[in-house]
Amino acid sequence: MSFLISILYNCAFIILGLWYIPLYIIKKKFSLGVFLEKLFIATGLKRKESIWFQAVSVGEVLAVKTLLHKIKEKFDYRIVVSTTTITGKKVADNIFGAWAEVIFFPFDITFVLRRAINIINPKLFVAVETEIWPNLFFLLKKRDVPIVILNGRISDKAYFKYKKIKFITKKVLSVCSYIGAQNDYYRKRFISIGAAPDKVHISGNIKFSSFDIKEDELSSFREKYINILKGEQNHLFIAASTHNPEERIVLGIFKELVLSFKINLLIVPRHPERAKEVEKDAASHGFSPVMVSTLGRKHVENSSGNVFILDTVGDLFYFYSLCDVCFVGGSLIDYGGHNILEPIYFRKPTVFGPYMNNFKKIEEVVLENEAAVKVKDRDELKFYIEKILLDDSFRKKLSGSALNVFKRQRQILEDNIEIITKYIS
């Protein structure tokens, strides 16, 4: 990047920051502490050679969970995990904090990045999914640090933005050592925004191999929650990763379900800070919702028709093991969907809506194996939830098909470890 362009980019970044940061603070997505960390003033890190992974938020952090454990076992380098969002950092702290350095991703401003790179001292930089940062990439290239993109994908929204600035993305992607796309669809997208075809490869979707279950933890978890959430012979319906107004849709359906079934509902808003808002929605539907964080302190009737709200970060995965039917949100509205593999991994009957733009390949594999149900609207969602609860053969068919989703995907993890090994050797 030329000196003039770098100055202009830095100025634009700072101006936009002055506009957005106050908004993020008001929305509680930012704080003074986060601001200082992103300026790389208050990280507490010491200079040491590292492998640096950047994972934007919760989904990306969970995607590399197993991969990072394997990398830790294979190499002696310090692992640094940076995230962009507060929720992403909380989850990363919970998963990696005992043995890795977890930080906020620094601002893409030259003087900030120089300090960050000096301290992190990366032997390799790995970006998870779609992370294109001009200043960072060019500074890493100057220091001969390999830049690898793994699990690469470009959403529709990002794709159209990148197409408009192809003259920039082409230069930025030119300094990457390796771009691993999830599939051929995304490989073509990377090439169309300027990536050199010989650098873009299909490395698979590591979300298929990102599950790391500790049986003792799972057993303790089930023992702690199963009686509270399910009671005696109750079904448990989980509505996961929901967005407004999906909670109200689910609550309306649940209000009808309790007339015919012994069933409880667990709502897991995608953003836990919305838990109070969801609590009000549940109350307006005539329920007395209970926050999961209060269980043990608050008495819950051992009966059906209870509504629970998961108001903590990064705890959803094991809750899937308890459910009898699951709806994965962000899909009844035009948000792009969320990861449907997690409940399917536990062989749980899973339903999702028509908007899965961010998970096209996963959706394709799941539907090819008939391991979940795609619905078009609220009425179909209600119909298939009832069908799953009533039709034992249909429910068993979905559960049995779930195993096929993961059979051909197990090699992906090893392939991605080999890629990292190649560029760190």
Tokens 């159209």 belong to residue = 160
pLDDT value of residue 29: 63
CB atoms near residue 393 (< 10 Å): 6
> For 211-237, what is the mean pLDDT?
88
Q: Look up residue 17 and give its amino acid.
A: G
pLDDT higher than 90, residue 313:
no
pLDDT higher than 70, residue 208:
yes
Question: Structure tokens of 376?
Answer: 């078009």
pLDDT higher than 80, residue 3:
no
pLDDT value of residue 356: 96
23-205+411-424 matches 215-407 in fold: yes
**DSSP 8-state class, residue 295:** B
Mean pLDDT for the chain overall: 90
User: Which of the four pLDDT bands, split at 50, 70 and 90, describes residue 126?
Assistant: very high
CB atoms near residue 404 (< 10 Å): 14
Q: Confirm or reject CATH 3.40.50.2000 for domain 215-407, answering yes or no.
A: yes
pLDDT value of residue 11: 64
Q: Look up residue 102 and give its amino acid.
A: V
Lowest-pLDDT choice from 11-20, 205-214, 232-241, 334-343:
11-20
> pLDDT tens digits, residue range 31-43?
767 878 888 876 7
The DSSP bridge partners found for residue 83 are 104
Contact 58, 314 (CB under 8 A): yes
pLDDT higher than 90, residue 24:
no
Report d(CA 256, CA 262) in Å as an integer: 12
pLDDT value of residue 299: 67
pLDDT value of residue 232: 74
> pLDDT tens digits, residue range 165-189?
998 899 999 999 999 999 999 999 9
Query: Of residues 300 and 103, which shows the higher confidence score?
Result: 103
pLDDT higher than 80, residue 17:
no
Residue boundaries of the structural domains of the chain: 23-205+411-424, 215-407
Residue 270 in 3-state DSSP? coil
pLDDT value of residue 91: 92
pLDDT higher than 60, residue 134:
yes
Q: Look up residue 394 and give its amino acid.
A: F
CB atoms near residue 193 (< 10 Å): 21
Short-list 120, 122, 173, 125, CA closest to 148: 125
pTM for the full model? Answer: 0.80
Indicate the class that CATH gives domain 23-205+411-424. Answer: alpha beta
Give Cα 70 distance to the centre of its chain: 19
Tokens 């990363």 belong to residue = 92
pLDDT value of residue 395: 95
Report d(CA 381, CA 389) in Å as an integer: 12
> For 298-313, what is the mean pLDDT?
85
pLDDT higher than 80, residue 278:
yes
**DSSP 8-state class, residue 143:** T
